[in-house]
Amino acid sequence: MTRTIDVEVGPGAISPAALADIEKFETMLALYEKGELDEDRFRIFRLGNGVYGQRQGGRNQMVRIKVPYGSLRPEQLEMLGYVAEKYSRGWGHITTRQNIQVHFVQLERVPELLRDLASVGLTTREACGDTVRNIVGCHLAGACPFEVLDISPWAEAAFRHFLRNPYAQRLPRKFKINFSGCATDCGQAMFNDIGVIAVTRPRADGSVEPGFRVFFAGGLGANPHPAQALEDFTSREDLLPTLDALLRTFDHYGNRDNKLRARMKWLVDTMGVEEVRTRALKERNLLLAAANWPGGIPGYVQEHGDAPAGMATGATPTPTGWGTNVVFRAPTTDRYGRWNDANVVRGVAKGTVSAYAYARLGDITGDQFRGVAAIQRELDLEVRVTNRQNFVFRGLTEDQLPLLHERLSALGMAEPGAELARDVVSCPGADTCNLAVTQSRGLADEIGRALEEAGLADVGGVRINISGCTNSCGQHHVADIGFLGLERRAHKRPAPGYQMLLGGYLGQAQVEFGQKAAKLPAKAAGAATVRVVGRYSSERNPGESFTQWLARSGGAGVVGAELADLDVFPTPEENPDFYVDFDETGPYVSEVGAGECAGS
């Protein structure tokens, strides 16, 4: 499915709603520049339009562009490349919530940038702030052999319903909605304010009815909470009113006095899960009385259909979640063969073929944006960004794979192992974020290098995620190996460090958060990762997941204790490098600014 955004308009045209957003931004910016609009009110307005202040201060802004369920058209990819070069540093960044971010945009240039984006149907509206954020969905939806329903049209319908919706503005805190087409949960439903997973239930005649199981009040951050089930089964007719009712419940009862306790997970802690559940279902029951409620299955879903890709006989979802290849071949050593083994996903039942393109650290240059668009046009494919910060091409044939590999190689995006061990996920960290205390991107680069040198970069079944602070924008809680940036003290000096977590798990409508394993100097985290991945690679039984191996090995505490020799800081005289963060030149200083909008 190639998605459309906002109302349908011709090429280069801007929808009336988007034009109104841009003109209002111009008006508010002019008032702010003249001193007629105070900083706090302009900040709230700016964030609601996806514009976020950077660590560097001054006029520097990060602009977050929404890509609902990751779907992009070629002209949108080309525009993203143009925007990255015209307004930023020549590259954009894919986030773990399927947004595209560009940094170092000067505030006075934002309206012009918004016009460029709107000309191809892209928007930043509600990408930041206390709003309904980007709607996230499984990037293989419609091409996965395990899915119960194709969640793509449902995610699109939800996006359209909540964009500029009065209830989606000025919430107690940000609100995140994720969709998955099956219990494997590649769309990461189980740790968000609302998570939707497609399921079935038996009918009286012996057939099965496809529908959904809706989860609510999950969250990561400094205090992670697993999402809770609202009810056993939500029909297709009831899904959109269920989402709306949960949002209204949060809007009515969320904490507006303390942002640190304002997310929906805290509402469950204070009111109790049963009370929140009761109030949400009551909201849904009365929603049909609303004058603007259309009822029934959304028109977009009716028009485009939500039939699944189809499951192969006897196929079962992967036990590790996060998605995996469906067809396995004997390992090969040539470059194309390694890429084919690691990056190509085949759906057995309907013969679907999809392939990942590797984006190092989630960064995409202007030339790469244009190159991906050219491939999409040449091979007539769908393209989506993934929540592990890569691209996936969908709708391929087997005959197209060699040419795709050739084209990706020319772009530097054919690294085998996209979404595997070498593919470390990281938030932007102290490079641009006000809240980060460490250079998480630098550590991600170091871990990737260390795994390559150790011959472990192609190890499957292990995911590594890094956050530069407690907010978990890098989703370290749900990774097999997670790192959380923190300030360490050694020899009376501050130094960059990390807390290593092990055993995060997501799948089968369950979530387990990683457990503390070891604290480490930043410069020892790469060596620690090599040890753990090396042990897993050499000790695992056939088909054994990382979490199964970890439990068999004694758990996070036992495995972490074996890394104690790495938690040593030499004196600054012996090795000053331990007191300088990655990608920095001077002594480490933990500088935390005022957070505007934590979380991507």
Per-residue pLDDT tens digits for 142-164: 998 889 999 999 999 999 999 99
The verdict on residue 310 lying in a domain is no
The verdict on residue 124 lying in a domain is no
How far, rounded to the nearest angstrom, does the alpha carbon of residue 1 sit from its chain's CA centroid?
A: 20
First to last CA, the chain: 25
CA gap 63, 232 in Å, rounded: 39
Mean of pLDDT values over 351-377: 95
- Diameter of the chain measured on Cα atoms: 77
| DSSP annotation string for 484-519 | EEEEEEETTEEEEEEEEEE--EEETTEEEPPEEEEE
Q: Which amino acid is at 252?
A: H
The verdict on residue 569 lying in a domain is yes
380 pLDDT above the threshold of 60: yes
Determine the 3-state secondary structure of 577 from DSSP: helix
Locate 305 and state its tokens: 């259909």
Nearest to 520 by CA among 476, 555, 492, 561: 561
600 pLDDT above the threshold of 80: no
Mean of pLDDT values over 334-353: 84
How far, rounded to the nearest angstrom, does the alpha carbon of residue 547 sit from its chain's CA centroid?
A: 22
Report residue 319's pLDDT band, with 50, 70 and 90 as the boundaries: very low
Nearest to 429 by CA among 315, 582, 305: 582
Per-residue pLDDT tens digits for 551-566: 999 999 999 999 999 9
Question: Structurally, how many domains does the chain consist of?
Answer: 4
Cβ-based neighbours of 595, under 8 Å, separated by 6 or more = 434, 435, 471
Per-residue pLDDT tens digits for 162-189: 999 999 999 999 999 999 999 999 999 9
Same domain, yes or no: 282 and 353: no
Strand partners, 347: 352
Report residue 505's pLDDT band, with 50, 70 and 90 as the boundaries: very high
* CATH code of 506's domain: 3.30.413.10
Same domain, yes or no: 154 and 297: yes
Same domain, yes or no: 441 and 509: yes
Residue 465's pLDDT is 97
Residue 15's pLDDT is 95
Q: Is 203 left (phi over 0), alpha (psi -120 to 50) or beta?
A: beta
H/E element holding 198? strand 194-202
Q: For residue 377, how many other CB atoms are within 10 A of its CB?
A: 14
Radius of gyration for the chain, computed over Cα atoms and rounded to the nearest angstrom:
23
Residue 350's pLDDT is 67
More confident residue, 548 or 317: 548
Same domain, yes or no: 393 and 431: no
Nearest to 448 by CA among 410, 420, 487, 477: 420
Determine the 3-state secondary structure of 62 from DSSP: strand
Mean of pLDDT values over 259-263: 93
Q: How many residues does the chain have?
A: 600
Locate 23 and state its tokens: 């003109």
Cβ–Cβ under 8 Å, residues 92 and 102:
yes
CA gap 600, 532 in Å, rounded: 28
325 pLDDT above the threshold of 60: no
28 pLDDT above the threshold of 60: yes
Report residue 4's pLDDT band, with 50, 70 and 90 as the boundaries: very low
Query: Could you give the angle at the alpha carbon of 324 between the alpha carbons of 322 and 326, nearest 5°?
Result: 145
Q: Is 507 left (phi over 0), alpha (psi -120 to 50) or beta?
A: left
Phi, psi values for residue 195, rounded to 5°: -125, 130
2 pLDDT above the threshold of 60: no
Q: Domain boundary residue among 118, 140, 157?
A: 118
Same domain, yes or no: 401 and 444: no
Cβ–Cβ under 8 Å, residues 131 and 57:
no
The verdict on residue 225 lying in a domain is yes
Residue 593's pLDDT is 59
- Average pLDDT over the chain, rounded to whole? 91
Same domain, yes or no: 153 and 298: yes
Determine the 3-state secondary structure of 447 from DSSP: helix
pTM of the predicted structure, to 2 decimals: 0.93
Determine the 3-state secondary structure of 394 from DSSP: strand
Percentages (nearest 5) of helix, strand, coil residues in the chain? 35, 20, 45
The verdict on residue 164 lying in a domain is yes
Strand partners, 363: 93
Residue 318's pLDDT is 40
* CATH code of 345's domain: 3.30.70
Packing angle, helices 110-118 and 16-33, rounded to 10:
180
Same domain, yes or no: 445 and 356: no
Q: Domain boundary residue among 359, 389, 411?
A: 411
Same domain, yes or no: 470 and 569: yes
Report residue 12's pLDDT band, with 50, 70 and 90 as the boundaries: confident
Same domain, yes or no: 541 and 440: yes
The verdict on residue 497 lying in a domain is yes
Query: Three-class SS string for 107-166?
Result: HHHHHHHHHHHHCCCCECCCCCCCCECCCEECCCCCCCCCCCCCCHHHHHHHHHHHCCCH
Per-residue pLDDT tens digits for 43-56: 999 999 999 999 88
Locate 247 and state its tokens: 């949002």
Cβ–Cβ under 8 Å, residues 419 and 344:
no
242 pLDDT above the threshold of 60: yes
Same domain, yes or no: 221 and 363: no
CA gap 442, 424 in Å, rounded: 11
Residue 316's pLDDT is 44
More confident residue, 342 or 576: 576
516 pLDDT above the threshold of 70: yes
133 pLDDT above the threshold of 80: yes
* CATH code of 69's domain: 3.90.480.20
Same domain, yes or no: 444 and 564: yes
Same domain, yes or no: 406 and 518: no
Structural domain range at position 388: 335-411
Residue 313's pLDDT is 40
Determine the 3-state secondary structure of 466 from DSSP: strand
Q: Domain boundary residue among 98, 118, 138?
A: 118
The verdict on residue 93 lying in a domain is yes
Least confident of 194-203, 328-337, 476-485, 503-512: 328-337
Quickly tell me which residue has 């105070």 as its tokens.
38
> How do 136-137 and 100-106 pair as beta strands?
unpaired
The verdict on residue 358 lying in a domain is yes
Per-residue pLDDT tens digits for 467-503: 999 999 999 999 999 999 999 999 999 999 999 999 9
Report residue 1's pLDDT band, with 50, 70 and 90 as the boundaries: low
The percent of residues above 70 in pLDDT, for the chain, comes to: 92
